Structure 1
Amino acid sequence: MTILRTAAIAAMFAASAAQAQQTVINFNALEQPGILGTVIDSYSEAGYNFDNSLWYGLHSAHQDSFAYAGSAGLGATALTTTTLTRADGAAFSLDKISLADYVSVLPGSYDVTFVGTKAGGGTVSQTFTVGDSHSFSDYTFTGFSNLVSASWKEGLLHTYQVDNIGANVSAVPEPGTYAMLLAGLGLLGFMRRRRNAA
């Protein structure tokens, strides 16, 4: 019984130590009135960095623009690649994303492919089909965990915006957390020995 209790307490400590810090990147800082959009070189929010393969290749449509999708979002120049990383270099996971048409030459739906680079090597990819509506739709990532970066490429005839990116990074346990775990396990072991001796 005591061994089970010890295992349960150790599991609770481990779970709290590895608890994820969840974030939704919503690009609200880019939302502005006006017709002309914002053109930027890079963008940072909540500890995540967005960079583009073209100098000043990132875009955000303003509220009166035909490309405005009802919320602030981040788009990019045609045929460029946008890359998402953590500012502190930590590994992260992607859970969800909202996508909307930005500027498309042709009507109709089109595919958008996201590629994640894993911390231990290798990649994972997932393709979503986006309609030509200037409103955001939600999509869910599968297997996009333990990433050091994620990237996506704009099309030539279709470009799109991203919004409400659900991301999380596993918290690094503080040294005090390990000390508390070891002290708790030691105390439980001492109590078990004392009980067995009685």
Structure 2
Amino acid sequence: MMTYFKTAALALLLCAASAQADVQRIEQRSGFNQLGKISQSSNFDDFTGSYNYPGYGFTRGDVSYVSDENLIVGSGAAHGIGSLRPVMSNEYWSPISGSIAQSYTLFGFDAAVSAGTVDLSITTNLARYHFKGLALPDGSSSFGFLGFRATAGEYFTGFELRSQGDGYLAGITDVTLGNVSAVPEPATPALLLTGLSLLAFLRRRQS
């Protein structure tokens, strides 16, 4: 019986530790910026002209772009996604892939797609998350914001933004990284307190 209670107490503590494991989508940049400290925001405004090829494994800040062939689309191109600002894209249309260094719990960017919707996969140190059928502007007059927050010991390690295929070109800019302190949900402290109390009770019984 004593072993059962010990197991139950440990299970409660583990539940408390993992209660928040998740990635949450933040739909507005203003709300995203208020979640914590923004460490860096990188863009491609220094590239001019229609198209630029910054090279495979091109790095800006703590993000390395490892698409099949990185392509920066500017205002002189035939695609609206670069009309307002130069954006990172992929010469082979899809996907735009990147790896993230350090341990950031905030990750976001402005994005556009020439037509259709996009699918976004985000990788953390613990899991891979999929966001399908995301609608974005075409970039000719505005961008859409895609922001995400990791919790409970997770941090971002990479991403993949995929358009519908040939003829549907996506692009991103103002790629932002930061960190936020996780605020425990009401249930988390309760689980932790219950587990610790049960362990303390068992120790008193044994002494």
Q: TM-score, normalised by structure 1?
A: 0.58
Aligned-pair distance for 1:162? 0.5
Contact 1:110 / 1:131 at 8 angstroms: preserved in 2?
Answer: no
* Percent identity over paired residues: 8
Residue pairs, 1:70-81, within 5 angstroms = 70-78=84-92, 80-81=94-95
Aligned-pair distance for 1:80? 3.6
The two structures, once aligned, show a CA RMSD in angstroms of: 2.8
C-alpha spacing 1:136/1:167, structure 2 compared with 1 (3 Å): farther
Is 1:38 the equivalent of 2:52?
yes
How far apart, CA to CA, are the structure 1 residues paired with 2:87 and 2:110? 9
Residue pairs, 1:38-187, within 5 angstroms = 38-39=52-53, 40-52=55-67, 54=68, 57-67=69-79, 68-78=82-92, 80-86=94-100, 89-101=101-113, 104=114, 109-119=115-125, 121-127=126-132, 128-144=134-150, 146-154=155-163, 155-168=165-178
Amino acid at match of 1:123: R
Q: TM-score, normalised by structure 2?
A: 0.56
- The equivalent of 2:187 in structure 1 is none
How far apart, CA to CA, are the structure 2 residues paired with 1:64 and 1:80? 21
How far apart, CA to CA, are the structure 2 residues paired with 1:26 and 1:75? 12
Contact 2:70 / 2:91 at 8 angstroms: preserved in 1?
Answer: yes
The alignment of Structure 1 onto Structure 2 pairs a total of residues equal to: 138
Amino acid at match of 2:160: S
SS in 1 for 2:71: strand
Whose relative contact order is higher, 1 or 2, with alpha carbons under 8 Å and at least 6 apart? 2
